């Protein structure tokens, strides 16, 4: 390919296959970034990129580098985000594709960025926004090419389709992962509460006091012995922690 040649995109069959691979990546697993890694593989294979990187927005809309094809690309991406300027940042802010067409020519928008791009082995960079519903920016796909010049419209459209498929799938998998974590936390909290209630009942019988008074003392003993309430309750229930003396615990509603 000669200088300033225009990179052309993949055919529709290849594009459809790549999108399917991205959508099904990570199915049945907990890794919500597997679709992103599939996107990087497709970018190199179908879009002829010498390197690629993906940054996703966090809940506060701050971009974070999540996947790169090389350490050099990772360093450039991180530096760009730290500086708060460059093709990636601009693409996310405006929700449009942004190009640095030739790193050997200083771009007045980002002085000093050209040498950093050349250090990755690339001559040009294209930042493709990863858009969600209502064209909401979710992140950016950064494509590095060894040749200078712009991508043609077909390639940009193909890159956008791949990027949006990855963004959507990664968000769905992340939502499922978060949902499973919430369920696990609820189950853990419920199991802990059941154990505490069992210990409270056992100590109320042992001390011949009310469950509320037994719970107050149980909590105090946990603090005094530097244990979590659940840990102490579990030891009481299992019989591995002897019940401390009553120390005159009052009944509920009874003055000490």
How does pLDDT run across 66-97, given as a tens digit for each residue?
A: 999 999 999 999 999 999 999 999 999 999 99
Tokens describing residue 195: 């154990």
Residue-level pLDDT at 252: 38
Residue-level pLDDT at 171: 74
Burial of 175 (0-12, 13-18, 19+ CB in 10 A): exposed
Question: Predicted confidence band at 246 (pLDDT cuts at 50, 70, 90)?
Answer: low
Indicate if the alpha-carbon torsion angle 94, 99, 103, 105 is positive or negative. negative
Evaluate whether 143 touches 87 at the Cβ level (below 8 Å): no
Residue-level pLDDT at 142: 94
Share of the chain above pLDDT 90, in %: 32
Distance, in Å, from the CA atom of 167 to the CA atom of 159, rounded to the nearest integer, reads 12
């Amino acid at each position: 390919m000669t200088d300033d040649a225009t990179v052309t995109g993949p055919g529709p069959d290849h594009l459809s296959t790549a999108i399917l691979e991205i959508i099904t990546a990570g199915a049945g697993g907990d890794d919500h970034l597997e679709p992103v890694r599939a996107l990087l593989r497709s970018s190199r294979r179908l879009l002829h990129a010498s390197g690629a990187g993906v940054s996703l927005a966090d809940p506060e809309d701050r971009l974070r580098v999540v996947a790169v094809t090389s350490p050099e690309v990772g360093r450039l991406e991180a530096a760009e985000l730290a500086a708060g300027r460059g093709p990636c940042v601009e693409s996310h802010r405006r929700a449009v594709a942004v190009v640095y067409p030739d790193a050997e020519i200083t771009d007045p928008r980002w002085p000093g960025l050209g040498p950093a791009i050349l250090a990755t082995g690339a001559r040009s960079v294209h930042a493709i926004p990863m858009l969600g519903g209502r064209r909401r920016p979710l992140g950016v796909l950064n494509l590095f090419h060894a040749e200078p010049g712009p991508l043609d419209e077909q390639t940009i459209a193909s890159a956008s389709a791949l990027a949006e498929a990855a963004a959507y799938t990664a968000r769905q998998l992340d939502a499922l992962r978060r949902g499973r974590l919430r369920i696990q936390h609820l189950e853990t909290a419920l199991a802990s509460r059941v154990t505490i209630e069992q210990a409270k009942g056992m100590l109320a019988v042992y001390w011949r006091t009310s469950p509320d008074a037994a719970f107050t003392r149980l909590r105090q003993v946990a603090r005094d012995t530097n244990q979590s309430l659940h840990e102490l309750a579990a030891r009481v229930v299992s019989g591995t922690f002897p019940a401390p003396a009553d120390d005159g615990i009052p009944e509920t509603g009874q003055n000490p």
